[in-house]
Amino acid sequence: MSSSVPPRPPTLDEVAERAQVSRTVASRVINNGPNVSRAKRDAVEKAIRELGFTPNRSARALATRQTGVVVLAVSGDGPEVFGDPYFAQVIVGASAALEKTDLHLMLSLVTNDHGQRRLRHFLQTRGADGVMLVATRGADPLVDIAAKSGRPTVFIGLPPHGTPPYYVDVDNAAGSRAATEHLLRGGRRRIVMITGPGETAVGRERLRGYTEALRLAGLEPYATAAGDFLETSGAEAMRALLQARPDLDAVVAANDNMAAGAMRVLRDAGRAVPGDVAVIGFDDMPLALHTDPALTTVHQPIQSLGREAARMLVELLDGGRPTSLILPTRIVVRHSA
């Protein structure tokens, strides 16, 4: 009596070979990733049909001792993080990208030394297959924890020092430059800026865009004051700027929260927006529709940051080498500027 051995299922490498593309391209198509031409996508999909290839992350996880869990790690206080719509939209985007996989998303909010030790132990004991790090600042311990774990890591937003192999960010300098140029086209010349924290890459890049736009117009920065992206810090910075430069005629705020705080202080000081002072923010959060007047702002695709970071991490876990991304921004003109 003879027994037959079940046929071995086709591999990702065989799909790539049949489609005459790289393994990375084949992985991107399977995971619905970006930056694949229509011709190559069609070739991979044809190879999948011909070979009968079925992605089976669960079986691969058992063979390689993968956990089926990826971590989205954030440093910060709970109320600050969960009260900021930015993080909520990042989570929505990442979750959407993982819906077609067998991976589960775990949120790790690291607020103190104990939290750092817990995350370090979790990653070093292979509790998760990969990591996404959000909005790191200064000497953020999460960067070192992720690096020492050896887990594949994707940054959502560039860290303040160095350029990691895998990241997704928006063009912060270009967005801030466009905001300042919008004010210049409107005849504003005494333009101040409420910056983000100097220990963050996003804070520095948005300040750079403001400075570049003014200097290209033959002007120097009129005045700046730093905030921490919270509305209260925008209000405090606006009070300081009004005292230092009472004749200011426009404000670029490094995010919508701080712009809203600035508009409240301007109103209390008897300055009409935009008649006396034009105000422009950055992010295009729902808040921007509810300020009085509605806030002109720089739109950044926040959900896309989470979605593309998750897709990149999936590609890394599948053995690919994804390309880091800088996503574009655009001005959304409303009534404040």
Indicate the range of 7-11, 77-81, 204-208, 293-297 predicted with least confidence.
77-81
State percent of the chain over pLDDT 70.
89
Residues 295 and 307 reside in one and the same domain: no
Give the residue-averaged pLDDT of 103-118.
84
Residues 290 and 260 reside in one and the same domain: yes
Residues 135 and 216 reside in one and the same domain: no
pLDDT of residue 237: 98
Q: How far apart are CA 156 and CA 309, in angstroms?
A: 6
Give the residue-averaged pLDDT of 162-173.
93
Let me know if residue 251 belongs to a domain: yes
Domain that holds residue 30: 12-55
Let me know if residue 188 belongs to a domain: yes
Residue 170, token pair as written in the block: 């928006």
Give the residue-averaged pLDDT of 121-139.
80
Let me know if residue 334 belongs to a domain: no
Question: Which pTM value belongs to this model?
Answer: 0.78
Q: Is the pLDDT assigned to residue 29 strictly greater than 50?
A: yes
Give the residue-averaged pLDDT of 25-39.
77
Residue 289, token pair as written in the block: 């529709």
> Quick one: DSSP state of residue 282?
E
Let me know if residue 318 belongs to a domain: yes
pLDDT digits (tens, 9 = 90+) for 231-286: 999 999 999 999 999 999 999 999 999 999 999 999 999 999 999 999 999 999 99
Residues 25 and 121 reside in one and the same domain: no
Residue 223, token pair as written in the block: 């005045």
Let me know if residue 92 belongs to a domain: yes
Let me know if residue 62 belongs to a domain: no
Contact by Cβ (8 Å): 329, 170: yes
Residues 38 and 115 reside in one and the same domain: no
Residues 166 and 310 reside in one and the same domain: yes
pLDDT of residue 85: 79
Q: Which residue has the higher pLDDT, 59 or 277?
A: 277
pLDDT digits (tens, 9 = 90+) for 320-329: 888 999 999 9
Confidence band for 57, pLDDT divided at 50, 70 and 90: low
Contact by Cβ (8 Å): 81, 135: no
Q: Is the pLDDT assigned to residue 159 strictly greater than 60?
A: yes
Helix crossing, 38-51 with 23-30: angle to 10°? Answer: 80
Q: How many domains does the chain have?
A: 3
Instruction: Please report, for the domain that includes residue 276, its CATH number.
Output: 3.40.50.2300
pLDDT of residue 58: 47
Instruction: Please report, for the domain that includes residue 49, its CATH number.
Output: 1.10.260.40
pLDDT digits (tens, 9 = 90+) for 1-17: 444 445 667 887 888 89
pLDDT of residue 182: 98
Q: How far apart are CA 318 and CA 24, in angstroms?
A: 9
pLDDT of residue 55: 66
ω into 322 cis (within 30 of 0): no
Residues 192 and 295 reside in one and the same domain: yes
State percent of the chain over pLDDT 90.
53
Residues 104 and 131 reside in one and the same domain: yes
- Mean pLDDT for all residues in the chain: 87
Long-range contact set of residues 318-324: C-beta below 8 Å, sequence gap at least 24: 318/12, 318/27, 318/30, 318/31, 319/12, 319/23, 319/27, 320/23, 320/24, 320/27, 320/28, 321/24, 322/24, 322/28, 322/33, 322/166, 323/35, 324/165, 324/166, 324/167, 324/168
Give the residue-averaged pLDDT of 130-155.
83
Residues 153 and 97 reside in one and the same domain: yes
Give the residue-averaged pLDDT of 153-159.
91
Let me know if residue 282 belongs to a domain: yes
Residues 80 and 119 reside in one and the same domain: yes
Residues 289 and 307 reside in one and the same domain: no
Confidence band for 68, pLDDT divided at 50, 70 and 90: confident
Q: Is the pLDDT assigned to residue 65 strictly greater than 50?
A: no
Residues 183 and 107 reside in one and the same domain: no
Let me know if residue 75 belongs to a domain: yes
